[in-house]
Chain A
Amino acid sequence: MTKKKSIFTQEVIVGIIVIALYFIFRGISADFGKYTTFLTLTDISYYYVLMAIGVAFPLITGGVDLSIGTGLICYALAGGYLIRAFSWPTGLAILVSILFGVAIGLANGVLVSIMGLPPFLATLCTCMITRGLGSVVTGSFAVPWPTAKQDNGWFHAIFKMTIVTADGKMKFPLGLVWIILLMLVMQFVLAHTRFGRYTIAIGSNKEAAILSGINVKFYHVMVYAVSGLFAGLASIAYAAYVPTVQPGTGAGMELDAIGGAIVGGVSASGGYGTIYGTVLGAYVIMLLKQGLPYIGLNANMQQIITGFVLIGAVVIDIIKRRAIR
């Protein structure tokens, strides 16, 4: 059995594309190269990347989680509402947002794993439900989280820290550090823990996993719980980025996250994927989304390009697999 392992895996190629895109945009637009633009870009990227990391797990099991986009809004609304209406401390509200995400994730897991609904349909339903819940909770009003300048707005510093240097004040995108850390942790979880291994096993050959005595139902539920957890985390990053959270939005964000994971080499039919690939893929989508206006293109062109990039990524995957056979 000869092994031909090219160093140009999809992950590496996507990494190169991310860097190339960044410098192409920089080269065309002077504005794009500014440090403030860089800060804005990183700010926006957090919630996309978090969602993508989470959704990679259901994707690797051969499923999908469509509820993360509307879910994110729902959790952010719930947390923000607790701060606004009941003056809850920010920390507690953040915890509630995250736990809310986990709860919806668990619900998805139960629907898919225990009740046997097709993942796509089950999470489409929770997508509708979370979208509705967010509005019902807040009475359809937009909810602003505390701003960075307010006392209870400390959570902004998680993502963007102000450093005092000799030249004066400077903002540092601390969130990038967290993202990299989380990426490493989740890659570790995927590659070196039972949970990760069984995630791959479910996606590759569920029957074999069951026959090996693995509690597949349990792990399958947990896969969706992880996706929910990361949607919860993403909701905090989102709250830190936008001034107010609008109910009824969020549909479509999950597609960017899923697209990122797929572009980053997660197999659309399950069984294979990496978290660093996912993160890089999410950055490709994010750069396209945010970068096009800088080079004088309509921002909506991004959607069209994203669509074709997505199909391109999957087609390449299909061709590669055919070549192996």
Chain B
Amino acid sequence: MNGNVGALLCCFSGVDGTSRGFFERKQSAKSNLDPVGGKKLEKIKQNPIIKKLGFNRIILFLILLLMYAVFSSVVKGFASMDRILSILNYVYFLGFLALGVTFVIATGGIDFSIGPVMFCCALMAGYTLNNYGMPVILCILMSILIGFLFGMFNGYLVAFVGVPPFIVSMASMNIAKGLGSVFTKTQSVSWPQAADEAGKGWYRNLVKYNGIPTGLILFAIAVVILFIVMNNTQAGRYILCLGSNKEAVRLSGVNVKKWQMSAYVICGLLVGIAAVFFVGAYTTVQPGLGDTYNNEAIASCVMGGTSMVGGLASIGGTVIGVFVISLLQEGIMALRMTKEVQMIITGLIVIIFVYADVSARRRKN
């Protein structure tokens, strides 16, 4: 099973050749300064396989494998199917969050309302399901719609009004938390537990069906679609370019406001979908929470080589980052340590990765 996951990951990072991670950039920076050593590095860079995969993603993937090996050897029974399914449960919703925020970070912005917004979606849709008897399919659509509306709200304020993204996400984080609490009268919401519950429980099959991780298939499809969106559509191209130099893109006659907003809208949609996978895996949601998932989603992006300054983003990298975080959280739990330990480790890892990115840039300039 693990092998399959690995192969899949390899393929994700493999196809993503447009964006570049920091290890690779470090190389090209050196090659500028040092023409002799540069030739050797140029050769490595020209190696088509390495060029396509990206150095940082290879290293991150090796870290992932190493972590898995360490946890498997330290924790008895870690390499079981149950564990893998449990890790995957975490991967789905965190994956959608992280992929969403990748688009926003690519524009040079930030969104840390995603965790609370996801909870807000799950709470409001779940409350409607339980109290007004709306069909599950409509509740799922409602969840995605709420995410979409938050995306519109954030995107409009950032792109058209010019409010700094940081302030906007702070505000919408508050709004999402408040809305979720007010709507549910500050009660936690449980979506239907049993998958076989007539007409209601089927949504859980989106995550797992007869022991088959259907969620992984859906997630893989989503990753492929988003990879194409990022690299092969107008939206992706303009999002990346405007993240790198917004004014140049504007002066090329492109409606930058529209495309900048679209990044937040894509993010919002994915947050709405993340909410569905969250309840699909865990069914219960509590109001007033969700902040930690922002941090984890942003951490995944940054690890995967998406630059906080904008303009460089890697869907494949984000996916590996999500697996690293999910594995870490499962491993820490298996070691009977608290979630808090995981946070410390995540925080330190992010510092290291961002510092590597920053110093690579600095050397280049």
Instruction: Tell me if chains A and B make direct contact, with any CB pair below 8 A.
Output: yes
Give chain B's interface secondary structure class: helix
Chain B residues in 8 Å Cβ range of A64:
166
B168 on interface, CB distance cutoff 8 Å:
yes
Least Cβ distance of A284 to chain B in Å?
14
Chain A residues in 8 Å Cβ range of B161:
315, 318
A122 on interface, CB distance cutoff 8 Å:
yes
Least Cβ distance of B63 to chain A in Å?
18
Chain B residues in 8 Å Cβ range of A302:
178
With contact pairs A125-B350, A128-B295, A269-B164 given, residues A255 and B174 touching in the complex (Cβ less than 8 Å): yes
B107 on interface, CB distance cutoff 8 Å:
no
* Residues 121-167 of A contacting B (Cβ, < 8 Å): 121-122, 124-129, 131-136, 140
B41 on interface, CB distance cutoff 8 Å:
no
Residue from A125, A251, A268 within 8 A of B167 (CB atoms):
A268
CB-based contact A136/B340 at 8 Å: yes
Proximity bits, B344-365, A CB within 8 Å = 1, else 0: 1011101100110011001000
With contact pairs A111-B351, A140-B338 given, residues A308 and B346 touching in the complex (Cβ less than 8 Å): no
A95 on interface, CB distance cutoff 8 Å:
no
A298 on interface, CB distance cutoff 8 Å:
yes
CB-based contact A262/B167 at 8 Å: yes
Chain A residues in 8 Å Cβ range of B348:
125, 129
Interface size on A, residues (CB 8 A): 47
CB-based contact B167/A126 at 8 Å: no
With contact pairs A311-B171, A318-B162 given, residues A126 and B347 touching in the complex (Cβ less than 8 Å): yes
Q: Which of A28-36, A45-53, A112-120 faces chain B? A: A112-120
With contact pairs A115-B355, A121-B308, A318-B161 given, residues A248 and B340 touching in the complex (Cβ less than 8 Å): yes
* Residues 164-210 of B contacting A (Cβ, < 8 Å): 164, 166-168, 170-175, 177-179, 181-182, 185-186
Residue from B110, B181, B292, B341 within 8 A of A120 (CB atoms):
B110
Chain A residues in 8 Å Cβ range of B172:
307
Chain A residues in 8 Å Cβ range of B174:
255, 259, 303-304, 306-307, 310
* Residues 262-308 of B contacting A (Cβ, < 8 Å): 287-288, 291-292, 295, 298, 302, 308
Residue of B166, B171, B291, B344 with most chain A CB atoms under a 10 A cut-off: B171
**Bound: A248/B341 CA distance, A:** 11
CB-based contact B341/A136 at 8 Å: yes
Least Cβ distance of A86 to chain B in Å?
22
B157 on interface, CB distance cutoff 8 Å:
yes
Chain B residues in 8 Å Cβ range of A124:
112, 295, 298, 347, 350
Residue from A121, A251, A314 within 8 A of B291 (CB atoms):
A251
**Bound: A121/B112 CA distance, A:** 11
CB-based contact A315/B302 at 8 Å: no
CB-based contact A127/B295 at 8 Å: yes
A193 on interface, CB distance cutoff 8 Å:
no
**Bound: A311/B355 CA distance, A:** 31
A243 on interface, CB distance cutoff 8 Å:
no
* Residues 288-325 of A contacting B (Cβ, < 8 Å): 298, 300-308, 310-311, 314-315, 318
Smallest CB gap from B171: residue in A: A307
Least Cβ distance of B168 to chain A in Å?
7
**Bound: A82/B179 CA distance, A:** 39
CB-based contact B340/A310 at 8 Å: no
**Bound: A125/B350 CA distance, A:** 7
CB-based contact A303/B347 at 8 Å: no
Chain A residues in 8 Å Cβ range of B298:
121, 124
B62 on interface, CB distance cutoff 8 Å:
no
Can you list 29 A-B contacts with CB-CB less than 8 angstroms, sorted by A residue number? Answer: A115-B358, A117-B351, A117-B354, A132-B340, A132-B341, A132-B343, A136-B341, A140-B338, A248-B339, A252-B173, A252-B291, A255-B170, A255-B174, A262-B167, A268-B167, A298-B181, A298-B182, A300-B287, A303-B177, A306-B171, A306-B178, A307-B173, A307-B174, A308-B171, A310-B167, A311-B157, A311-B167, A314-B163, A318-B162
Residues of A within 8 A of B (CB): 64, 111, 115-118, 120-122, 124-129, 131-136, 140, 247-248, 251-252, 255, 258-259, 262, 268-269, 298, 300-308, 310-311, 314-315, 318
